[in-house]
Amino acid sequence: DVKVTQSSRYLVKRTGEKVFLECVQDMDHENMFWYRQDPGLGLRLIYFSYDVKMKEKGDIPEGYSVSREKKERFSLILESASTNQTSMYLCASSFPRHAIYEQYFGPGTRLTVT
Partner 1 sequence: SQQGEEDPQALSIQEGENATMNCSYKTSINNLQWYRQNSGRGLVHLILIRSNEREKHSGRLRVTLDTSKKSSSLLITASRAADTASYFCATVLHGSGNTGKLIFGQGTTLQVKP
Given the rule CB under 8 A, which residues bind partner 1? Answer: 4, 30-31, 33, 35, 40-45, 48, 50, 56, 58-59, 88, 90, 92, 94-96, 99-108, 110
- Distance of alpha carbon 32 from alpha carbon 51, whole angstroms: 8
- Residue with smaller CB distance to partner 1, 4 or 24: 4
Q: Least distance in Å: CB of 80 to partner 1?
A: 26
Q: Least distance in Å: CB of 81 to partner 1?
A: 21
- Residue with smaller CB distance to partner 1, 41 or 79: 41
Q: Least distance in Å: CB of 90 to partner 1?
A: 6
Other residues' Cβ atoms within 10 Å of the Cβ of residue 18: 10
Query: In sequence order, what E strands does the chain have?
Result: 4-6, 10-13, 19-25, 31-38, 42-51, 54-57, 64-70, 73-78, 87-94, 104-105, 109-113
